[in-house]
Amino acid sequence: MGDAADKDGLMLARRLLAAALDLDEGEIEPDAQIVELPGFDSLAYERLVASVEEHLDRDLDPLMMVSIDTVSDLAEAMARESR
């Protein structure tokens, strides 16, 4: 993936997380651990999964989400799943 695609993927991941957590995108760093972000709980997780599924237009493999630790991981996983 090129630099522009990497940046676009990170921007999307940050936007989806910000919406799920009711945060500003600027509060979410690419290397941030998702479970340590303010407001992350089971409801935020469900909102995040629903947002990712809506963006990809399909249901996700639950194991995919379990393997994601950071915002960058989320961006990379969405890029893989969108192929």
For 42, the domain range is: 3-81
How many separate domains does the chain show? 1
Residue 57 gets the label, from left (phi > 0), alpha (psi -120 to 50) or beta, of left
**CATH (domain of 35):** 1.10.1200.10
**Which amino acid is located at 81 in the chain?**
E
Give the position of tokens 């393997």.
67
> Is the pTM for the entire model greater than 0.95?
no
Task: List, for residues 11-22, the tens digit of each pLDDT value.
Answer: 999 999 999 999
Q: State the amino acid at position 7 in one-letter form.
A: K
- pLDDT tens per residue, range 33-60: 999 999 999 999 999 999 999 999 999 8
Give the model's pLDDT for residue 3.
64
pLDDT tops 60 at residue 26: yes
